[in-house]
A and B are shown apart, each in its own frame.
Chain A
Amino acid sequence: RKEVEQDPGPFNVPEGATVAFNCTYSNSASQSFFWYRQDCRKEPKLLMSVYSSGNEDGRFTAQLNRASQYISLLIRDSKLSDSATYLCVVNISPNAGNNRKLIWGLGTSLAVNP
């Protein structure tokens, strides 16, 4: 089983739709979680961290379920500019400050259509 798994998609949705991505992780000692966005042929950029209580940033909501070991990303009122690959990232280091153990999912591809 992969340490971090994502549905590769692609997800094709119309503008204005709500879309949700899930990501599962295998290591129960995982400490911190992130969603990154990567546009074609560009570097990954941090979209948001994922907190235990869940967090929201505009149209984006991230949730963490430690019991089931998954995180989710919800995008509401999707825009054409949301088209990208969304990467799930998990820090499995027992020391939450040790960044070197970031494990990356392969990403979920989203295409928002007019």
Chain B
Amino acid sequence: NAGVMQNPRHLVRRRGQEARLRCSPMKGHSHVYWYRQLPEEGLKFMVYLQKENIIDESGMPKERFSAEFPKEGPSILRIQQVVRGDSAAYFCASSPPTANYGYTFGSGTRLTVV
């Protein structure tokens, strides 16, 4: 019973390149959440998605960031034209539709922009 799978674990990009982070939720989970954690800071909510729908993107930066959760395949967090300040750990979490037991997190993707 695989947990939340994120890949890659580590991603290095040069300034101006695109970063694509993938998240496969736990089996039976239809809700996906993306969080960002900057060094020495707390978790910051970015976006909440269900299959083919963005439910809440109030934490997403207005430019360069986008997220999707297609009918088939993993959820993707895309960062275009990365800058040094995008270097962070990006965590994905998933939950079932009606449970109230918190989230299960993936191991995260550590993005380093050089």
Interface residues of A (CB under 8 A from B): 31-32, 34, 36, 41-46, 49, 87, 89, 91, 96-97, 99-100, 102, 104-107
Contacts and interface: CB of A to CB of B under 8 A. Distances in A.
B102 A100 contact: no
A106 B42 contact: yes
A97 B107 contact: no
Contacts of A91: 100
13 contacts: A43-B108, A44-B105, A46-B103, A49-B102, A87-B43, A97-B97, A99-B31, A99-B99, A99-B100, A99-B102, A102-B45, A102-B103, A104-B45
B42 A36 contact: no
A107 to B, nearest CB: 6
B48 A46 contact: no
Interface residues of B, number: 25
B95 to A, nearest CB: 5
B105 A45 contact: yes
A100 B33 contact: yes
B56 interface: yes
Contacts, number: 54
A107 B42 contact: yes
Contacts of B102: 34, 36, 46, 49, 89, 99, 102
A96 B100 contact: yes
B104 interface: yes
Listed from nearest, the 9 A-B pairs whose CB atoms lie closest are A106-B42, A43-B105, A100-B48, A97-B98, A34-B102, A99-B95, A46-B102, A104-B43, A96-B100
